[in-house]
Amino acid sequence: MPWLYLIFAVVLAALLGHLMRRGMHGKRLGFIDAYQFHPAIRSKLAAKHPQLSDGQLDLVFDGLRDYFHICNQAGKKSVAMPSQVVDDAWHEFILFTRAYQQFCRTGLGRYLHHTPAQAMASPTFAQDSIKRAWRLACAKDGIHPAGARVLPLLFAIDAELNIPNGFRYTPDCRNPNASNYGSGYCASHIGCSSGCAGDSGALPSDGGADGGFFAGLGDSDGGGCGGD
């Protein structure tokens, strides 16, 4: 019957579209992972943070790749930048205008605007964009966000590298044995202290609504990624 062929065609088109989006998503993530930042960007960051070793600088750029990963996962909602030193690296990258524009086109499919690094408004209150960063960063590092005992790289790096004026997070501010206990921001208050409906420890797919695990870029609910 003609209507059966029509239904089949619609389903097939939807399936092909989904597979194409997944393929493009995978290519973008692969591009981000393999991207080599210009040595001058590294030199600029080293001048700003002369205390960092070569290995520590490598870790910062790993953090920047992680941030671009979670922004890529995010669709069109904002994702806060939880690290000061990674934000510094991002800022230096943006100053290489042509390289950054090409990176955004290939790795993200659009230009990613910068806003300053931003932690929570207070040690116990998190905006939507930092909650989103927490869920996505936990997923990237294979950590369940609701009961994390360790921090994902983007939330750990400022304290690990002892960055002046960096953001420091405590996995559980009720646990006196937790890192950074008694100081900084309480990660157990970021989004999941009362449960994360629909969240899981699974790694992200290529999209989804915020309220499942993943969201996107472009709304104005905090720092980090802006819109187009």
Residue 7 included in any domain: no
- Domain tally, the chain: 1
100 vs 114: CA distance, rounded Å: 11
Residue 119 included in any domain: yes
Q: What is the pLDDT of residue 176?
A: 66
Q: What is the pLDDT of residue 118?
A: 77
196 vs 1: CA distance, rounded Å: 46
Residue 204 included in any domain: no
Q: What is the pLDDT of residue 191?
A: 55
Q: What is the pLDDT of residue 190?
A: 80
Q: What is the pLDDT of residue 213?
A: 26
Residue 56 included in any domain: yes
Residue 227 included in any domain: no
Kindly report the pTM of this predicted structure: 0.73
pLDDT tens-digit profile of 152-187?
Answer: 999 999 999 999 999 999 887 766 665 555 667 887
Structural domain containing residue 116: 25-189
Residue 219 included in any domain: no
Residue 164 included in any domain: yes
What's the CA angle centered on 219, arms 137 and 79, to 5 degrees? 15
Residue 162 included in any domain: yes
Q: Which residue numbers in the chain have pLDDT < 70?
A: 1-25, 123-124, 174-183, 188, 191-228
